[in-house]
Amino acid sequence: MVLVHGNADKDAANDGQIVDFRGNPVDKSKTGGWLAAGLILGSELSERIVVMGISMNLVTYLVGILHLSSSKSANVVTNFMGTLNLLGLLGGFLADAKLGRYLTVAISASICALGTILLTLTTSIPSMRPPPCSDSRKQQCIEAKNGQLAMLYISLYTIALGGGGIKSNVSGFGSDQFDTSDSKEEKAMVYFFNRFYFCISMGSLFAVTVLVYIQDNVGRGWGYGISAGTMIIAVTIMLCGTPMYRYKKPEGSPLTVIYRVIFLAMKKRSLPFPAKPNMLNGFNDSKVPHTEIFRCLDKAAILDDYAISNDNRNNRWIGSTITEVEEVKMVLKLIPIWSTCILFWTVYSQMNTFTIEQATVMNRKLGTFEVPSGSMSFFLFISILLFTSLNERVFVPLARKVTHNIQGITSLQRVGVGLVFSVAGMIASGIVEKQRKQNSVVHNTIISAFWLVPQFVLVGAGEAFAYVGQLEFFIREAPERMKSMSTGLFLATLSMGYFVSSLLVSLVNKATKGSWLRSNLNRGKLENFYWMLAVMGVINFLAFLFFAMRHQYKVQHYNAPNGQEKQLEYWKDDKLESNDNKLDTQVKEEV
């Protein structure tokens, strides 16, 4: 792990920005702590149950009940998940800029509950479905009409709006319940993040086992109705705990700073650069050294005659400071690595779509019990939990001994390992699909769905490395005053990964005239699509290596005992071990 100096939540707490629900300074004996944090955890648990219960089994409903094509069904799922993660940026912005985390989570959870209720009604009302079709191979099935799909889309994107707001704020709101200036509460907060991640995992496992079984064997309405019920209960419990919470006042979103700097740079693009950089606004007081990269943004810090004559130099919409400009530059420097992280989530999205479709036409029986196709995702989440544990308990300690580096595995090394696993997962997917189709078409036999386990395990192992690696990288490399941007950047990679999947499916369908991705997998060439993703993954990995080898890690700051500020590159000093828990806490908070 690495040392990260500063934390927005900690600074706010120390500056007296944490208040009770009446706006008064908090009474620690009556607010916060485990009881308040536990009530908040219910929202995240319910969000996972809702989202995973939908995304991991929605494709079977779209293909089997609504009779949509495989490609269109896959795009519906990936667009839904992409939008949900993208709306996390909106939720984070609203919380930071105006509403605060409590109101944002409460409103978002209510919206998510409403969307799940609508989805329950949509899947329960017979008129919302086309006529049944017993065998699509022997008869032409009637596809759902636009009116029937409209209600489904409204339900899904209402859930996405609510889920995005919960996802981006609930962990931060939970962390606000602990005072990091108190050693006991700071230690408790570490356990909070462990339990937070536990809630995510348990919610996902419950969704892909119990809920998926109910959806397939009892009824979609019952399955989604249970999800809606859990979200309503979670909202009620959270609202009941209102007097017990500690609240952080909104202090403005870093997205506003980025927009303002870019806006001013464009507005002042015709102005000449000053003769010396020290003539830029706030140069002498800058907390970040001036750099020549993205020099065009320096124009945002130029003070023109209007700003000087009217003493508007402190008006940030007239002139940015060089500190703000350099912070925006630091964010832009992350874009190359950010772009190479997208394809991992494109690969991951196949576990929600085509892999589930493969399972529907394979033998899923365990004795007399038939495993629901959506429940095959159980192996994905088990793999994630297993490799996350092995990573922290085996791989990192072993790497520390070998490299004598306290971090063990750097954040970019984690991402690289995750990308390699994703390529291996797609190769395994292509091999299994080719073997499945050959047995079905040539030998007229159905192979076991448990042949899909390797691809679930490989992609799950990739997430265990890539998820933490990406998050840690963005946390550490983001500007000190823009730490909340780390969550936004991370959610954006997930969102773009799902959208890229939709784009690829559409392009492949057009290029192959629908011959690769057919609703009848035996007539299609799904293995070619998997292998195409594997080749793209190799190219993407090479691009990642190119950017990663050239990336200069941000120099970390700390205060020396004599009060003089020192600079350390995190990977070169074993003395940073005592500060390891600081980033551990922050990474877990962002997860």
Q: What is the mean pLDDT of the chain?
A: 82
Per-residue tokens: 165: 């707001």
In the prediction, which pLDDT does 342 show? 95
In the predicted structure, residue 567 carries a pLDDT above the cut 70: no
Helix (H, G, I), strand (E, B) or coil at 565: strand
Residue whose C-alpha is closest to residue 460's, from 398, 411, 389: 389
Higher-scoring residue by pLDDT: 487, 347? 347
In the predicted structure, residue 10 carries a pLDDT above the cut 80: no
Q: What is the mean pLDDT of residues 224-241?
A: 91
Q: What is the mean pLDDT of residues 300-327?
A: 76
Structure confidence at residue 540 as a pLDDT band (50, 70, 90) = very high
Higher-scoring residue by pLDDT: 72, 278? 72
Q: What is the mean pLDDT of residues 63-76?
A: 88
Q: What is the mean pLDDT of residues 87-91?
A: 87
Per-residue burial over 564-591, b = 16 or more CB atoms within 10 Å of its CB, e = otherwise: eeeebebeebeebeebeebbbbbbbbbb
Per-residue tokens: 590: 């962002």
Residue whose C-alpha is closest to residue 527's, from 441, 399, 418: 441
In the prediction, which pLDDT does 1 show? 30
What is the residue-wise DSSP string for 268-333?
TTTSPPPSSGGGSTTSTT-SS---STTGGGGGGG---HHHHHTT-TT-TTT---HHHHHHHHHHHT
CB 326 within 8 A of CB 288: yes
Highest mean pLDDT among 285-289, 318-322, 454-458, 546-550: 454-458
Structure confidence at residue 551 as a pLDDT band (50, 70, 90) = confident
Higher-scoring residue by pLDDT: 53, 482? 53
In the prediction, which pLDDT does 309 show? 66
pLDDT tens-place string over residues 175-192: 788 886 777 777 676 667
Q: What is the mean pLDDT of residues 513-542?
A: 91
User: How far apart, in Å, are the Cα atoms of 28 and each of 99, 176, 190, 279?
Assistant: 23, 12, 18, 47
Helix (H, G, I), strand (E, B) or coil at 518: coil
Q: What is the mean pLDDT of residues 459-486?
A: 79
Higher-scoring residue by pLDDT: 4, 539? 539
Mean pLDDT check: name the lowest of 212-221, 358-367, 382-391, 481-490.
481-490
Q: Phi and psi (nearest 5°) for 313?
A: -65, -20
Q: What is the mean pLDDT of residues 558-581?
A: 39
Element (H, E) at 18: strand 18-19
pLDDT tens-place string over residues 261-271: 999 999 888 88
Mean pLDDT check: name the lowest of 61-65, 170-174, 347-351.
170-174
pLDDT tens-place string over residues 358-379: 999 999 888 888 888 888 888 9
In the predicted structure, residue 560 carries a pLDDT above the cut 90: no
User: How far apart, in Å, are the Cα atoms of 322 and each of 50, 270, 287, 300, 516?
Assistant: 44, 19, 9, 8, 53
Give the separation between CA 19 and CA 25, rounded to whole angstroms: 5
In the prediction, which pLDDT does 480 show? 65
In the predicted structure, residue 403 carries a pLDDT above the cut 80: no
Q: What is the mean pLDDT of residues 566-574?
A: 38
In the predicted structure, residue 86 carries a pLDDT above the cut 50: yes
Element (H, E) at 369: strand 369-370
How large a percentage of the chain has pLDDT more than 90? 29
Give the separation between CA 488 and CA 399, rounded to whole angstroms: 30
In the prediction, which pLDDT does 32 show? 81
Higher-scoring residue by pLDDT: 294, 288? 294
pTM, 2 dp: 0.80
Highest mean pLDDT among 94-98, 114-118, 207-211, 478-482: 114-118
User: How far apart, in Å, are the Cα atoms of 109 and each of 32, 42, 247, 403, 585?
Assistant: 20, 10, 18, 45, 25
In the prediction, which pLDDT does 543 show? 96
In the prediction, which pLDDT does 225 show? 92
Give the separation between CA 352 and CA 207, rounded to whole angstroms: 13
In the prediction, which pLDDT does 147 show? 87
Helix (H, G, I), strand (E, B) or coil at 370: strand
Q: Phi and psi (nearest 5°) for 255?
A: -60, -30
In the prediction, which pLDDT does 198 show? 72
CB 276 within 8 A of CB 507: no
In the prediction, which pLDDT does 575 show? 36
pLDDT tens-place string over residues 143-161: 888 888 999 999 999 999 9
pLDDT tens-place string over residues 413-424: 889 999 999 999
Q: Phi and psi (nearest 5°) for 366?
A: -120, 95
In the prediction, which pLDDT does 407 show? 64
In the predicted structure, residue 83 carries a pLDDT above the cut 90: yes
Give the separation between CA 70 and CA 77, rounded to whole angstroms: 11
Q: What is the mean pLDDT of residues 293-317?
A: 76
Structure confidence at residue 387 as a pLDDT band (50, 70, 90) = confident
In the prediction, which pLDDT does 135 show? 62
Helix (H, G, I), strand (E, B) or coil at 363: strand
Give the separation between CA 405 and CA 397, rounded to whole angstroms: 10
